[in-house]
Amino acid sequence: MKKIIQITSYCLLLFLAVGCQDDDNTLEQILVPQNLEVTMDVTEDGSGNVTFTATADNAVTYRFAFPDGTTAVAPSGVYTKRFTKSGLNTYQITVMAYGQGGVNSSKLVEVTVESDFSDPEAIELLTGGGSKTWYWAASEPNHLGVGPNNDDATQNYFWAYFSFTEPFALANIPAATCAYDDEFIFSTTTGEDLTYEYDNNGASFFNRSYASVVNGQSPDDSCYEFDTSGERAVSLAPSESVVAAERKRGTTMTLTNDGFIGYYIGTNEYEILSLTENRMLLRAIQGNDQGLAWYIILTAEKPVQGSGPQAEEDDFPNLVWSDEFDTDGAPDPANWTYDLGNGQAGWGNNELQYYTDRSDNVVVEDGVLKITAQRESYMGFDFTSARLKSEGLQEFTFGRYEIRAKLPEGVGTWPAIWMLGADYMTNPWPGTGEIDIMEHVGRNQNEVLSTLHFPGNSGANAISEATTVETVSSEFHVYAAEWTETQIRFYVDDELYHIFQNDETKPFNKDFFMILNVAMGGNLGGDVDASFSQSAMEVDYVRVYQRD
C-alpha cells in the first residue's frame, strides 16, 4: 500500500541570478521557475522508499537536498530516495527548481517515513562497539581492483590495472605512494548511529578521471593534496546492486558530505559485500562510468610491508593414492563415480551442460583421462560434459594433491580441478568448505585461478588468486595444492602463487574428495562462443601424497 502526499504550503523563496554580460540578458529572457509543487509517494512496506515528483513552470531541472547530507539532481523532477533510519521518522527536504541562467526557486517539504531496515551487526563489526580504525589490506592481493558492473559481477573479474594483483602493489607506483598512509575510522555512540572519519595524512589517491577536482594535471591515477577532515554521518540501506544475493551481505553504506574511502572515484556509496571483525570487502560504482565496479579490501590490522604470509616447509614423501589412467575405457570405478544431469539451477551456477557418463564425454585412452564438453542437443540441454568425483571412494585430510592436465579451450568453457568437504550432505555448502586447486575460464585463456570457499567467504567473496600460464590448452602443466593444518598453498609447475592461512575456525581440517569437471557457461564461464563445437580437458595423472 502507498500513500500520496501533495505539498502546496511552506515558504517559497525566489532567487534571481542576473549575469554580468552586457545587455544580452534581460528579465524577459531569464524566467524564474514558479508554482513549484512537490508530491511524495511514500511506500508503507517498511522499505523506506519515497518517490518525489517536483513540477514548476519554467524549470529545466530540479535538485533535492536531504538531511543526511546527500543531494540528487533530476532533470525530470522525479527521484526516489530510500530513508533507512529505523522506525517512524520525519525528515525535511529542500527541493529546488532551476530555470535558464541559474535562477531558481525552492520549497521546504516534510515527509514521515517508516523503515524497518537495520544491520546492527555491521555497525558492531565496523566500530567494535565504539571506534575502530581500518586500513588498506595491502598485504592481500587484489586489495584494489576493477571489474564490469553487470550480471557477472564478482571479485574474480578483476582487470589487470597497474599491478594491483600483488601485495603492496601501490607502494611500487610513485604516484600512488600516499595510499597506504590512509586511516578509515568508523565510530558509534549508541550502537545505532554510525559516523566516519578519513585521515589521509594530507593526500589522497585519485582516479585519473577526477584529477580536475583538485586541479591535477597527471594523465594517470595519482596522489593529490586533499582535505578530508571532519566527521561524516553514515547511513545504511539494503543493497540493490546486480550482485546475486548469495554473494553479498545485502547492506550498502552512504557517506555524507561527499565522503569516500581511500580512492576517489566520484562516489560516496559503498556496498558491503563481506564483513568480519578484521576484513571488509567493499564494492563501489565509479561516478562517471556506471559500467565499472571497483573492489576495495580493508583490514582492521595495519599491514607491514614484507609481513605477508610466508610458505611453510612441509614434506609429503608418501604416495597414498594415484590414478595414472593407464587402462583404456571407462575411468576406474574404484576411484571415480559421477554427478549426472544439470543439478539444481545448473549446479548452483546456472551452468548450461548436462553431465553424462557416456564415453562421448568421459573416457580413458592413450594414457590420459579425457573429459569432453560438446555442443549437442541432449535431455533438453544444448551441451554435454562430465563430472567425475572420488566421493566415498578416495577421501583424504591434508597432503599434497598433484594433477597434471591440459585444459580445454573456447570462450564459455569452465574446467575445474577441485575438492569438496565429504560432509556436504549434513553440512551444506559453503559450510562444508571448497578447495579449488585450478579453475579456468575460456575467455581468459592464459589465466588460472585457485580459490577457497567457506562461511563468510564464498561466491564473489571467496579468497581467490590468479596466475598467468601461457600454454594452458596446448601443453600439460602440474597443478598442485599443499594442504596442512596451518596453510593451503597453490602451485603451477611447482611455482608457488597463492598462500592461504588455515586454522581451526575454518572447515579445512577433515576429509575432502576430488572432483574433475568441465562446465559450460554459468556464472563464471559466461556466454559460450557461437562457434564452439567441442573441447576436452586431458588429465595425465592424479596423485595424493601425505606425511609419514
Q: Which residues are catalytic?
A: 434, 439
Q: Which residues pair with 282 in a beta bridge?
A: 272, 296
Closest by Cα among 511, 504, 498 to 544: 511
CA distance linking residue 255 with residue 536, whole number of Å: 50
CA distance linking residue 335 with residue 317, whole number of Å: 21
In degrees to the nearest 10, what's the CA dihedral of 374, 380, 381, 382?
A: 60
Angle at CA 539, nearest 5°, toward 424 and 432? 10
Residues ≥6 apart with Cβ < 8 Å to 361: 355, 371, 372, 373, 374, 384, 385, 386
End-to-end CA distance of the chain: 68
In degrees to the nearest 10, what's the CA dihedral of 186, 249, 242, 463?
A: 90
CA distance linking residue 165 with residue 176, whole number of Å: 15
CA distance linking residue 306 with residue 179, whole number of Å: 17
- Asked whether 409 and 539 are in contact (CB, 8 A), the reply is no
Report which residue type is found at 259.
Answer: G
Going through 20-130 in order, the beta strands assigned E by DSSP cover 34-43, 49-57, 61-65, 71-74, 78-82, 87-98, 104-115
